[in-house]
Amino acid sequence: MKYAVVTFPGSNCDWDTYYAVKDVMKEEVDMLWHGDNELGKYDCIILPGGFSYGDYLRAGAIAKFSPLMKEIINYANAGGLIIGICNGFQILLETNLLPGAMLQNKNVHFICKQVYVKLNNSNTPFTNAINKNDVLNIPIAHMDGNYYCDIKTYKELEENGQILFKYSDSNGNISDNANPNGSLANIAGICNAKKNVFGLMPHPERAVEKILGSEDGKKIFLSIRNHILQSKN
């Protein structure tokens, strides 16, 4: 199997993600430049965290016009697996590959800390190695992580099982106190209706080894590998 990590001007988690895939998961991975015009054959594409184009206009707003994004949108529409982490999630929202929008954190401050997220749906390519209602300890680092959508969209997300993670406390209790950024209904990560595009604000690539404080993020990468292997059989 083969992965790709896309670098934009301002990306700063691309090499962390590359390390997680290549050195921890022991999988083949390429680094792609946002200005490329062609997309090779990949089993999964990762849009990493950072501040693409300095987050000018809005986070991810300019990155969606990068030449490679046209190919990535086609790849997603054809059923290819994509995971967007933090800024990558913001880019997926701006390209309408995922519904909703990202607002500034409720406290209008940049937040960088460990948080807990509770799994809401284990039946996806990105969560199949995690038991439903499991709680993961994964860090966040963002200024614009306050997820929002209208009521109609929210109901669709719930009904279709598209809300994959919600912020919680260590025991899995979902409350305002466990919500670090004001995100609607404590949403930390969602997928599209086809379940092949996934965006989340927490950084699983920063939680793949015990020395980092948690290896819970590795479960997301294991889920992706499980799905790819099953699809090839």
Query: Residue 86 catalytic?
Result: yes
How far is C-alpha 133 from the geometric centre of its chain's CA atoms? 19
Q: Which of 86, 94, 191, 227 is catalytic?
A: 86
129 SS3 class: coil
SS3 category, 4: strand
Q: Give dist(CA 186, CA 190) in Å, integer.
A: 11
Can you tell me the distance from the alpha carbon of 13 to that of 20, in angstroms, rounded to the nearest whole number?
11
Long-range contacts of 37-40 (CB under 8 A, 24+ apart): 37/67, 37/68, 37/71, 38/71, 39/4, 39/68, 39/71, 39/72, 39/74, 39/75, 40/4
Secondary structure (3-state) at 191: strand
Active-site residue 203, yes or no?
yes
205 noted as active-site residue: yes
Joined tokens for residue 171: 């025991």
Annotated catalytic residue within 34, 142, 203, 227? 203
The residues annotated as belonging to the active site are 86, 203, 205
